[in-house]
Structure 1
Amino acid sequence: MATAALFEPLTLRGVTFRNRIWAAPMCQYSILAKDGVPRDWHLMHLGQLAAGGAGLVVAEASAVSPEGRITDADTGIWNDDQAAAWARIVDFIHSQGAVAGIQLAHAGRKASTWPAWGHDEHGTVPASAGGWQAVSASAVPFPGYDPPVALDAAGIRGIVDDFAAAAGHAIGAGFDLVEIHAAHGYLLHQFLSPLSNRRTDEYGGSLENRARLLLAVVTAVRTAIGPEHPVFVRFSATDYAPGGWNEDDTATVAGWAAAAGADLFDISSGGNVTGVSIPIGPGYQVPLAEHVKTAADVPVSAVGLITTAAQAEQIVASGQADAIMLGRELLRDPHFPLRAAHELGVSLDYWPPQYLRARWPEA
């Protein structure tokens, strides 16, 4: 049988991934009890990705505090009840041979919005319907949303503490790694981008100042979880807007974050402003990942319209990225890794035994 870069193991700190096909965090907006506790849908959703052969399954953006939720239907990782529910899901992911990760998130000015499905409303949920006050780097609203309140010094310290505590809950639940969400226009991205950060104190102005909160979060999370567990950071590499956050800023801050204890950078793009032109096409974000990898000399994963085995193999084999993150393609086909191995002529020993009768015959 053939070998393929896509199916070579990768080790970061004390964790070995069986392949380079990883399941990206994908919001499900399915916590109907509004308590942040994952239930059967999440066991099914994440479990099937592990059974389908993914090397890593990253649970969706899970809020580090109640007010950090994008919607009231989000998962959370700020208390013991949530951690206990996640432990059941993590155990199943591990039983299928995959590494389990969770994305730690705070929505900032994009908090307290209506879920993506199940409602006709859009934008900010009013207090009369259960909404809450959003916070951000500055009192600059996301277009179409209510204005946030700018965090003061105590509020910023609280954010750092919340991320650290959530990381501790995650490791206590059995997760192997955590990913800090600094992309898609959420709170940490709001601090990074000059389009949303208008502060004049030590958290605004220069790149060093705008990165201060993220680096404090990375340091606190690393301290909370110890040296054995990897820490990822998801970046939007560009705002696609003049005067905004860009790939050179991303590479610089990735280097600083690596020095603070981060191990790999999950490179996406956009989400902080509207009205921009995004050059969407197959693998459109891969060059951004490659730029960060080369300029900062750090491991990266690439995401965005990666839909075929040959495309994924080329990205990893060429060195553009160390791994790929799949989202929509795994929703369409949770067994994409097993199919990709067949298409690339790779023999795997981690087919679920219940499914062996369906395995393609070896060439």
Structure 2
Amino acid sequence: MPHLLEPLQIGSLTLSNRLVMPPMATSKAEPDGKVSQAILEYYNEKTAGGYLSLVIIEHSFVQQAGKASENQLSVADDSVIEGLKELAAVIQRNGAKAVVQINHAGSAADPAVTGVAPVGPSAVKNPRKGDIPHALTREEIGGIVADFRAAARRVKAAGFDGVEIHSAHGYFLNQFFSPLTNKRTDEYGGDVSGRIRIHLEVIAAVRAAVGQDFPIFIRLGAADYAEGGTTAADSQIAARAFAEAGVNVIDISGGFSGYVVPGNNEQGYFAPLSAAVKEVVAIPVILTGGITEVQAAEQLLAAGKADLIGVGRAIFQDSLWAQNAVNSIKQA
């Protein structure tokens, strides 16, 4: 079984260890979504010393209508590429690989931020936000898929090491995956294969934009933890399809539960979901969820729950966490 300091090869991508900083919104971008000095300083501080193998940059909007909040990073037009190049360079100079998470908020978007009415798979309330969105037509879905493609092209042009498609935490693609918000009766609804049709279209579009050798990650909200919502069994079907479609890494989190599991505070609380997905795919799986101690990270890897361990809040609160973790293993 792998241990935390073991390297991992993912296609063309070499990771120095199994420790990942998962995407966490900072709200430090410029008002127009461009990279700010504050964001550069934040990621420089978090990656100093080269103790993290991989950093997944916080969710970045693919179009203005999909912007989730003020001061969110943008990948929505070519004017952001120069700033993103600086961000990639800062992280890579510090010895980590850098991936950008691209997202559309769907019905979780705030009209006060976007200036337009929210959209989604169906005209039903978002369980996390309460807004009833406009139900997208097929043509409108195609437009959003094209925006994911363009965003991925920008991520590669800026020199990043990979791109992550966001389908978790009740955002746009997760809204299609979940029966709580997807009530469609066309080919984009119904069973799991219908509800992930848009995911497969986005994956194909992103792959067309970035080429065969550029790593594609997908963050999957693997269970809603709600009556009538998605389950681990649904996510096994989805994960298998994503792997067959050419995704290189699956990053496990929650669906409409967000990044928590109701009533569960143990370290690695998404482990049952990552383990279920690992059973059905041969590609690497990332586990996150309340991991604060290096011993817990090691145990989860040793138990085969995942291939990579994401430590979010602990690194957010303590920029030396990764350094201390790596050094404690080396000294053990």
Match of 2:198 in 1: 213
In the TM superposition, residue 130 of structure 1 has moved relative to its aligned partner by 6.3
Deviations 1:221-261 (CA, angstroms, capped at 9, x unpaired) = 11111122111110111010122111111111111011111
C-alpha deviation, 1:81, in angstroms: 1.9
For residues 138 and 280 of structure 1, the distance between their equivalents in structure 2, rounded to whole angstroms, comes to: 33
Structure 1 residue aligned with 2:140: 155
Partners of 2:288 and 2:311 within 8 A in 1: yes
Indicate the residue corresponding to 1:81 in structure 2.
Answer: 79
Q: How far has the Cα of 1:7 moved from its partner?
A: 0.8
Structure 2: how far apart are the matches of 1:181 and 1:314? 27
- 1:136 paired to 2:120: yes
Counterparts of 1:30-49 in structure 2 under 5 Å?
30-31=28-29, 33-49=30-46
Which amino acid letter does the alignment assign opposite residue 247 of structure 1?
A
In the superposition, the TM-score normalised over structure 2's length comes to: 0.94
Q: Deviations over 1:270-299 (max 9, x none)?
A: 3269xx944232221112111111133432
SS of alignment partner, residue 330 of structure 2: coil
CA distance in 2, matches of 1:101, 1:210: 26
* Aligned twin of 2:10: 12
CA distance in 2, matches of 1:307, 1:298: 25
Matched ranges for 1:321-332 at <5 A: 321-332=306-317
**Secondary structure at the counterpart of residue 344 of structure 1:** helix
Alignment TM-score, normalising by the size of structure 1: 0.86
* More moved, 337-346 vs 36-45: 337-346
Tell me, yes or no, if structure 1 residue 203 matches structure 2 residue 200. Answer: no
Listed one character per residue, the Cα deviations across residues 174-208 of structure 1 (whole Å, up to 9, x for unaligned) are 11000100000000000011110011111011211
Change (3 A) 1:254 1:156: same
CA shift at 1:103, angstroms? 0.2
Q: Is the 8 A contact 1:13 1:227 kept in 2?
A: no
Classify the secondary structure of the residue corresponding to 2:279.
Answer: helix
SS in 2 for 1:100: strand
State whether residues 189 and 272 of structure 1, in contact with CA within 8 Å, keep that contact through their aligned partners in structure 2: no
Residues in 2 aligned to 1:219 and 1:326: alpha-carbon distance in whole angstroms: 29
Name the SS for the 2:278 alignment partner.
helix
Q: Tell me, which stretches of 5 or more residues in structure 1 are unaligned?
A: 113-123, 347-362
Change (3 A) 1:237 1:203: same
Specify the alignment match of 1:354 in structure 2: none
Match of 2:22 in 1: 24
Percent identity between matched residues is 39
Structure 2 unaligned spans of 5+: none
SS in 1 for 2:301: helix
1:314 CA displacement: 1.3
Structure 1 ranges of 4+ moved more than 6 A: none
SS in 1 for 2:131: coil
Contact kept in structure 2, 1:6 and 1:317, CA below 8 Å: no
User: Rg bigger for which structure?
Assistant: 1
Amino acid at match of 2:173: L
Alpha carbons of structure 1 residues 331 and 202: separation in structure 2 relative to 1, 3 Å: same
Q: Look up the match of 1:108.
A: 106
Query: Is contact 2:192-2:237 (8 Å) kept?
Result: no
The whole-number CA distance in structure 2 between the counterparts of 1:333 and 1:130 is 33
Letter in 2 for 1:22: V
CA RMSD of aligned residues (A): 1.9
Q: Are the equivalent residues in 2 in contact too, given 1:252–1:296 (CA < 8 A)? A: no
Report the CA distance between 1:15 and its aligned residue: 0.8
Counterparts in 2 of 1:1-363, with a 5 A limit? 5-31=3-29, 33-52=30-49, 53-112=51-110, 125=112, 131-143=115-127, 144-271=129-256, 277-345=262-330
How far apart, in 1, do the equivalents of 2:134 and 2:257 lie?
17
Distance 2:330 2:11 in 1: 30
Q: Does the 8 Å contact 1:266/1:300 carry over to 2?
A: yes
* Number of residue-to-residue matches in the alignment: 328
